């Protein structure tokens, strides 16, 4: 969340930053009104508490002096003020809760160098990588061979490695089943990526179900409540990404600056209702409710954040290059940033069978927005008060769309799939052949 002191002291600057996201500033005006009401009520409560405490001392002194009437009068005044103190205390708590609720839904301030724009149409591609298997044309778009132009859902069905029909039978639409070498290919992708991150990132296997406060810490609640799976009996949530538990690994802790940056990586299944998918393409693996992902996350100082984001992006790109996938890096505009993000770069792999650039990774810097929600701080080496860390995360990768782009890109004229060289030891095959 945004620091309330910054909103109070730099109101115009905060409004100007949020205007880049398309917000008109009325949220800030309402927030400040509620904040002022909360502070007024708290001030009255604190004044009355001090007055009641003083009256209590007077009652004791008057009784010791033998002034029973004076003691009773002071006690009666204290009781009357006590009722007012409880009323102002309840009002202060209610208004403080209202302020916090508002802070939880106001998005992060975009980075100064994030490109301005209103929607994903204004996102800015910044570079491309051309695979020898699927090279870019002079127009900046790949022109696949005929055998590469088959969508992955047809390839998967033909080879018996993707079973969407049985997935729907088991769980409903948008729950895929990978079979045989298709399942082994998915497992190989996960293991390859985890192995590539092991030099600098500590591998974590976090829980898949988390508490409400864990979801709040990243900004997934309350804003995206309709997109989350909630187990009401236990008040637990199925994670939409490993970012959620990893961000809370140090919740309510104070780290030492010497231990930063702290880098973590995790493979988890992820769950999303895709409540906003109406009208979008949901064929095959383009949009699913359950999927596998390898996540990178770091706690850092503000000075370390830019280098960490660049490192995460480079690592994700290296995975795509090793898989032989043509991709582009897209700088997200202010109107398309996620609620918690200050700056995001997406990696989009080209899927020739679908004829689409598919988002397979997002690499985001959140400044101290998530850390304030999770209360993750660090103790500066030079001394001084603890400060909030900056959090960053990136996907390496989201596997359903990566799997789809790989299967389409490496589809052979004879109907099989060439397995990328780096995966062959784990898949235990050079080619996934037709049955």
pLDDT per position as a tens digit, 232-278 = 999 999 999 999 999 999 999 999 999 999 999 999 999 999 977 76
Query: Do you find a cis peptide bond into 222, omega within 30 degrees of 0?
Result: yes
Helix (H/G/I), strand (E/B), else coil: 141: coil
CATH 3.30.930.10 residue spans of the chain: 120-432
Strand 262-271 vs strand 202-204: parallel, antiparallel, or unpaired? Answer: parallel
Residue whose C-alpha is closest to residue 36's, from 92, 79, 78: 92
Distant-in-sequence, close-in-space partners of 62: CB < 8 Å, separation ≥ 6: 68, 70, 71, 74
CATH 1.10.287.40 residue spans of the chain: 4-105
Orientation of helix 152-159 relative to helix 181-197, angle to 10° = 120
> CA–CA separation, 82 vs 322, rounded Å?
70
> CA–CA separation, 412 vs 353, rounded Å?
12
List, in sequence order, the alpha helices (H) in 269-384: 305-322, 369-374
> CA–CA separation, 391 vs 371, rounded Å?
7
The pTM score is: 0.94
CATH number at 4-105:
1.10.287.40
Per-residue pLDDT at 280: 77
φ/ψ of residue 11, rounded to 5: -55, -50
Q: Which helix (H) or strand (E) holds 361?
A: strand 356-365
Per-residue pLDDT at 281: 87
In CATH, the architecture of 120-432 is: 2-Layer Sandwich (3.30)
> CA–CA separation, 276 vs 274, rounded Å?
5
Segments of the chain with pLDDT less than 70: 278, 435
Distant-in-sequence, close-in-space partners of 308: CB < 8 Å, separation ≥ 6: 261, 263, 298, 300, 365, 392
DSSP state of 116: P
Helix (H/G/I), strand (E/B), else coil: 328: strand
Per-residue pLDDT at 435: 64
Residue 300 CB coordination number (10 Å): 21
């Amino acid at each position: 969340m945004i620091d309330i002191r910054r909103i109070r002291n730099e109101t115009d600057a905060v409004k100007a930053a949020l205007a880049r996201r398309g917000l008109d500033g009325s949220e800030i005006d309402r927030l400040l009104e509620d904040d002022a009401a909360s502070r007024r009520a708290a001030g009255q409560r604190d004044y009355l508490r001090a007055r009641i405490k003083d009256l209590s001392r007077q009652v004791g002194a008057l009784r010791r002096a033998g002034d029973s009437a004076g003691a009773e009068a002071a006690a009666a005044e204290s009781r009357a003020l006590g009722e007012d103190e409880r009323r102002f205390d309840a009002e202060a708590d209610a208004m403080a809760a209202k302020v916090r609720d508002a802070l939880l839904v106001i998005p992060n301030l975009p980075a100064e160098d994030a490109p301005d724009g209103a929607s994903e149409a204004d996102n800015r591609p910044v570079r491309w990588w051309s695979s020898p298997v699927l090279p870019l044309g002079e127009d900046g778009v790949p022109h696949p061979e005929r055998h590469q132009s088959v969508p992955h859902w047809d390839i998967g069905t033909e080879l018996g490695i993707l079973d969407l029909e049985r997935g729907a039978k088991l769980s409903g639409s948008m729950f895929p089943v990978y079979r045989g070498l298709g399942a082994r290919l998915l497992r190989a992708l996960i293991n390859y990526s985890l192995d590539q991150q092991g030099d600098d990132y500590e591998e974590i296997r976090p829980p898949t179900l988390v508490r409400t406060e864990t979801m709040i810490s990243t900004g997934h609640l309350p804003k995206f409540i309709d997109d989350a799976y909630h187990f009401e009996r236990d008040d637990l949530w199925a994670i939409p990404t490993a970012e959620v538990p990893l961000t809370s690994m140090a919740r309510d802790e104070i780290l030492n600056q010497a231990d930063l940056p702290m880098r973590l990586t995790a493979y988890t299944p992820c769950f999303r209702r895709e409540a906003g998918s109406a009208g979008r393409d949901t064929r095959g693996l383009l949009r699913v409710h359950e999927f596998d992902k390898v996540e990178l996350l770091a706690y850092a100082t503000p000075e370390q954040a830019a280098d960490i984001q660049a490192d995460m992006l480079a690592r994700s790109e290296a995975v795509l290059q090793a898989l032989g996938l043509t991709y582009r890096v897209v700088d997200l505009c202010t109107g398309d940033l996620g609620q918690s993000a200050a700056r995001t770069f997406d990696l989009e792999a080209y899927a020739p069978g679908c004829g689409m650039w598919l988002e397979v990774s997002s690499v985001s810097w959140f400044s101290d927005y998530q850390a304030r929600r999770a209360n993750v701080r660090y103790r500066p080496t030079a001394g001084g008060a603890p400060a909030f860390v900056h959090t960053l995360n990136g996907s390496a990768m989201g596997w359903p769309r990566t799997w789809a782009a790989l299967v389409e890109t490496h589809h052979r004229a004879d109907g099989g799939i060439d397995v990328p060289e780096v995966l062959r030891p784990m898949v235990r095959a050079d080619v996934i052949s037709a049955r």
